[in-house]
Structure 1
Amino acid sequence: MNKNSEFNIENIKVKINKLIGRFLLFIIAGVAGFKLNDILSNPSNFFKLFYTNIYKNFHSYSYMSNRFWTLFLVFYLISTAIGMFFLAKSLLKKNFLHSLIYTVMICLFILSLSTSIYSIEGIKENRNINDNIEIIRPYISNDEYILLKSKYLQINSKKDFDTINDKIRGVAKKHGANINQNE
């Protein structure tokens, strides 16, 4: 009786594992097909997969050491590579429950990596625009400076950023100031 129940439990485990595998394959195929269709219809959508709005609360970005970001990015790249290795290994063994866990882990690593990259870009642009406001300060009145600084602290969208950046570039061009480029 005990041997028979072990056989049934093993049989049930195999059936559950196959069901999870089929379900996982169905979900992955659906999501991949949807995203592939979206990307093929407009190739620029590929870069929007992991987009983060760096202009939200733009004034609160602060400078961080390049070493910190380098180590952070290397950690995530290595972690993703290790996750992909174990994902492939579990897929070859047809252990779909572990495959699901590794797939979720890899997605979280990729999301964290893309968020980090957008944060780095935000820090760079924030430093440039803050420095540029100070560079053009001698060429504008104190009231214009205070207004420009106030608008800078209220940036919440790309449109707000572009408006301030255009104003700074106009003043710099008019007076021949050498400002940092945000391109």
Structure 2
Amino acid sequence: MNKNSEFNLDDIKAKSNKLIGKILSFVIVGIAGFQLNNILSSPSSFFKLFYTNIYKNFHSYSYMSRELWVGIFIFYLIGTALGIFFLVKALLKKNFLHLLVCLFMIFLYIISLSTSVYSIEAIKENRNTSDNIEIIRPYISNDEYIFLKSNYLQINSKKDFETVNDKIRDVAKKYDANINQNE
């Protein structure tokens, strides 16, 4: 009886592994096809695959050292490489349960790295904008400065950011002030 139950468990495990493999293959082909269609229809959409709105609560970002970000990037790179290694290993052994776990881990690494990159960009933009407000301060009235600073602290969208940035650029151009350029 014990051998039969072991045989049945192995049989169930093999059948569930095959079923997961079929479902996973179907899902991967569907997602890959959808993403390939998006990439081919608009190449810039590839770079916005994991877009994060860096302008939400724009004023609350703060500077962090580059060494920390380099360390985080290396961690993500090594983690993704290990994930791909185990992914290929699971694929060669046709162990689709491990394959699914590896795909999920790689996906988490990519999402985390993407979020980190957008955060770095937000930190840079935030620092430049804050500095630029101070650079143009002597050229505007105190009320205009307070209004501009208030608008800066209320940025929650790219449109809000562009409004503040355009005002800064207009003042800088008018008085030939040397402001930091946002790229």
User: Which TM class, normalised by the smaller chain length?
Assistant: over 0.9
Match of 2:27 in 1: 27
Equivalent positions of 1:1-183 (< 5 A) are 1-183=1-183
* Aligned counterparts of 1:156 and 1:61: Cα–Cα separation in 2: 12
* Aligned counterparts of 1:31 and 1:62: Cα–Cα separation in 2: 36
| Paired residue secondary structure (2:177) | coil
Q: Residue deviations 1:144-179, cap 9 Å, x none?
A: 000000000000111111111111111111111110
* Aligned counterparts of 1:110 and 1:41: Cα–Cα separation in 2: 22
* Aligned counterparts of 1:6 and 1:73: Cα–Cα separation in 2: 45
- Aligned residue pairs, count: 183
1:122 alignment partner AA? A
| Paired residue secondary structure (1:53) | coil
* Aligned counterparts of 2:4 and 2:58: Cα–Cα separation in 1: 65
Structure 1 outlier segments of 4+, above 6 Å = none
Q: Residue deviations 1:94-143, cap 9 Å, x none?
A: 11001101100100000000000000000000000000000000000101
User: Normalized against structure 1, the TM-score is what?
Assistant: 0.97
* Aligned counterparts of 2:76 and 2:44: Cα–Cα separation in 1: 25
Percent of residue pairs identical:
74
* Aligned counterparts of 1:151 and 1:7: Cα–Cα separation in 2: 69
Superposition deviation, residue 41 in structure 1: 1.4
Q: Residue deviations 1:4-26, cap 9 Å, x none?
A: 33222212211111111111111
Between 34-43 and 150-159, report the one with greater CA deviation: 34-43
| Paired residue secondary structure (2:50) | coil
1:19 alignment partner AA? L
Structure 2 stretches of 5 or more lacking a match? none
